Amino acid sequence: MSIPSETVIEAERLSKRYKCGHLALDDVSLTVKKGECLGIAGESGSGKSTLARCLLAIESQDIGKIMRNGTMQAVFQNPSASLNPKLKVIDSLMEPLDGGKIAYPSFLSHFREDRRKTAEFLLKLVDIPGSYLDAYPHQLSGGQKQRISIARAISVEPSLIILDEPTSSLDVSVQANILNLLKDLQEDFGLSYLFISHDLAAVRFMSQRIAIMQRGKIVEHFASEELFSEERHPCTQQLIAVFES
Amino acid sequence: MNQFLLRHPKSIIGLLVVSFVLMIVSVSYIAPYDPNHVTMKERLLPISSEHWLGTDHLGRDIFSRILVGARTTVGTSLLILMCSLLIGIPIGLFSGYIGGRFDRVLMKIVDAFMAFPDYIFAIVLSGLLGPGMFNLIFAIVIVKWVGYTRLVRSTVITEKHKEYVLLAKINGLRSFQILKKHMIPHIMGNVLVLATLDLGKIILMIAALSYIGLGAQPPTAEWGSMLNEGKAFFYNAPLLMVIPGLAIMLFVLMSNLLGDYLRDKFDVKSKKVGI
């Protein structure tokens, strides 16, 4: 079954129950269109990360189907675990392109597959000096590691990047930098994001549409301007109250 | 270079002993005397310019026997180590990475091997199989591979759920490529440290088994069997036991120092890289 070309991912009625009996996803449907950012907010344990894993095909849903258009990449919460501490930055950064299965995207094609120059260029996109290519992850700060994870994700010009709490383990000042960087990259490359966070302020900043999750369900789904509308679900209002306090 | 020497004094000792042993191994082909040549007229001679470490109860030159014995002992221990690594590492990698029932069954087998004290197990095995170098190698490998399997498996289990492995899967790497690119760098440091420390233990085990007559058979020059042969003459000619004992001790010391050195070297965090 095919989906319209302007849709990058469409999930239909996903449900997943873990072996322990916990219902992590309960009839979740969503669509992300080309160039947009769909935000998913919810308290921890609401099934956001399980949803991300199902969409990335790392885990399989029990019921429902997912249709994808093109390649997917991800940036996860913990920048330290996202880079293999034993590998140099360049080897982690170039992993998607090193496989040889994905062609160098158009914005990298003028490097004529020069691995090092490509890596330097990718680092420049996320404001990290090229001299860090031979460094090991422990020599970098959390924010720098997360920038490298972002550079790695955009290196194949994916049709969708799933951002699973990409700023949650960073300092507040660094969080803002990373969010701005993500937004700039989205504009420059026309990227589509699925932005998952428990931080409603970050979700609102990044997204055009917001879905709120609670106990594995999407309880509400609205345009990001309508966040403060009177009709919001109590769960949403609770999340608003958290970040206003 | 000077700074390096000051920072790692231990490693220098270790490296010196390595070169010393390498020298022994290569020199064994040009030992001053035939190590097995019996000259009853020249038995139990003290240290002299002709026989640097004296002669044994059969008039054989001890220095030559130590040199040739190094080839037997060190060569055998390296062979045992290689076999243990070749069996232990792949099983640990697959067991940890695949997990599930495969892992549980394998770990039961490993536990069964580990339940026996290793010396006793090796003695029983080579006792059952009969004396001889091949059986001794077999017995020690059977005892040693499980340690590597355990070590590798536990590292793989802690690493395999980390995000960088998930990302590698998303990027289309096959399990084999993930093991090669992401897991092997994680295990190599620990495995090499354990291996160098084990080298000393294996030497001791070979020597111990040869000492009780289960390993190298006379007249093969081997440090453990030299100890065994020398024990009858200990009061008259203590050198017969002291010299091979010292050789064993130096080699064990070397392998321990080398282990320390490698542990520092493989800890990426202690490495200085200019940014």
Question: Is B167 in contact with A74 (Cβ distance < 8 A)?
Answer: yes
Question: Is B170 in contact with A152 (Cβ distance < 8 A)?
Answer: no
Which of B163, B269, B273 shows the shortest C-beta gap to A135? B273
Question: Is A132 in contact with B170 (Cβ distance < 8 A)?
Answer: no
Q: Which of A102-116, A220-234, B201-215 has the lowest mean pLDDT?
A: A102-116
Q: Can you give the pLDDT at residue A141?
A: 92
How high is the mean pLDDT of chain A? Answer: 90
**Choosing among B171, B177, B179, B268, which should be mutated to test the A contact, i.e. which has the most A CBs within 10 A?**
B171
Distance from CA of B268 to the nearest CA of A (A): 7
Cβ(B234)–Cβ(B244) below 8 Å: no
Question: Is A58 in contact with B166 (Cβ distance < 8 A)?
Answer: yes
What's the predicted TM-score (pTM) here? Answer: 0.82
Residue with more model confidence, A230 or B93: B93
User: With a CB-CB cutoff of 8 Å, which residues 172-211 of chain B face chain A?
Assistant: 172-173, 181-182, 185-186
Count up the domains in chain B and report the number. 1
Query: How far is the C-alpha of A78 from the C-alpha of A64, rounded, in Å?
Result: 29
How many CB atoms are located within 10 Å of the residue B146 CB? 22
In chain A, what residues touch B161 (CB-CB under 8 Å)? Answer: none
| Identity at B201, one-letter amino acid code | K
Q: Of A199, A242, A206, which is closest to residue A224 (Cα–Cα)?
A: A206
Residue B251: inside a domain: yes
B1 vs A: CB within 8 A: no
In chain B, what residues touch A101 (CB-CB under 8 Å)? Answer: 172
Question: Is B185 in contact with A84 (Cβ distance < 8 A)?
Answer: yes
| Identity at B122, one-letter amino acid code | A
Average pLDDT over residues B195-210: 89
Average pLDDT over residues B53-73: 83
Q: CA angle B219-B222-B225, nearest 5°?
A: 75
Distance from CA of A99 to the nearest CA of B (A): 7
Average pLDDT over residues A22-26: 90
Cβ(B153)–Cβ(B105) below 8 Å: no
Q: Which residues contact B116 (CB under 8 A, 6 or more apart)?
A: none
Q: Which of B26-40, B167-181, B212-226 has the lowest mean pLDDT?
A: B26-40
Residue B21: inside a domain: no
Question: Could you read off the pLDDT of B97-112 as tens digits, one per residue?
Answer: 998 999 999 999 999 9
Query: How far is the C-alpha of A79 from the C-alpha of B152, rounded, in Å?
Result: 25
- At B54, give phi and psi (nearest 5°): 80, -170
How high is the mean pLDDT of chain B? Answer: 84
Query: What stretch of H or E contains B64?
Result: helix B62-98
Residue B118: inside a domain: yes
Structure confidence at residue B10 as a pLDDT band (50, 70, 90): low
Q: CA angle A100-A102-A107, nearest 5°?
A: 115
Query: How far is the C-alpha of A233 from the C-alpha of B244, rounded, in Å?
Result: 83
SS3 for A123? helix
Residue B11: inside a domain: no
Residue B123: inside a domain: yes
Cβ(B143)–Cβ(B113) below 8 Å: yes
A118, HSE (Cβ side, Cα atoms, 13 Å): 25
Q: Can you give the pLDDT at residue B274?
A: 46
Phi-psi region of A222 (alpha: psi -120 to 50; beta: other; left: phi over 0): beta
User: With a CB-CB cutoff of 8 Å, which residues 32-71 of chain A face chain B?
Assistant: 56-58
Q: Helices then strands (H, E): number in chain B?
A: 11, 0
Pairing of strands A72-75, A160-164: parallel
B162 vs A: CB within 8 A: yes
B101 vs A: CB within 8 A: no
Which of A82, A132, A138 shows the shortest C-beta gap to B167? A82
Q: Can you give the pLDDT at residue B107?
A: 93
Structure confidence at residue B159 as a pLDDT band (50, 70, 90): very high
Does the pLDDT value for residue B28 go beyond 60? no
A19 vs B: CB within 8 A: no
Q: Of B78, B65, B71, B86, which is closest to residue B21 (Cα–Cα)?
A: B71
Q: Can you give the pLDDT at residue B275?
A: 46
Q: Which residues contact B243 (CB under 8 A, 6 or more apart)?
A: B53, B62, B66, B226
B169 vs A: CB within 8 A: yes
Question: Is B185 in contact with A87 (Cβ distance < 8 A)?
Answer: yes
**Choosing among B167, B174, B267, B270, which should be mutated to test the A contact, i.e. which has the most A CBs within 10 A?**
B167
Average pLDDT over residues B243-264: 83
Question: Is A56 in contact with B170 (Cβ distance < 8 A)?
Answer: yes
A136 vs B: CB within 8 A: yes
Question: Is B162 in contact with A96 (Cβ distance < 8 A)?
Answer: no
Question: Is A134 in contact with B273 (Cβ distance < 8 A)?
Answer: yes
- By C-alpha distance, the chain A residue nearest B168 is A95
A242 vs B: CB within 8 A: no
SS3 for B175? helix
- CATH number, domain containing residue B226: 1.10.3720.10
User: Which residues, listed in sequence order, are joined to residue A209 by a DSSP beta bridge?
Assistant: A38, A223
Question: Could you read off the pLDDT of A106-159 as tens digits, one per residue?
Answer: 888 888 778 999 999 999 999 999 999 999 999 999 999 999 999 999 999 999
Length reported for chain B: 275
Query: How far is the C-alpha of A192 from the C-alpha of A32, rounded, in Å?
Result: 8
In chain A, what residues touch B182 (CB-CB under 8 Å)? Answer: 84, 86-87
Residue in the block written with tokens 């991300």:
A52
Residue B141: inside a domain: yes
- At A75, give phi and psi (nearest 5°): -125, 125
In chain B, what residues touch A56 (CB-CB under 8 Å)? Answer: 166, 170
Distance from CA of B159 to the nearest CA of A (A): 9
Direct distance between the N- and C-terminal alpha carbons of chain B, in angstroms, rounded to an integer: 21
Residue B7: inside a domain: no
Residue B42: inside a domain: no
Domain that holds residue B177: 59-273
Structure confidence at residue B85 as a pLDDT band (50, 70, 90): very high
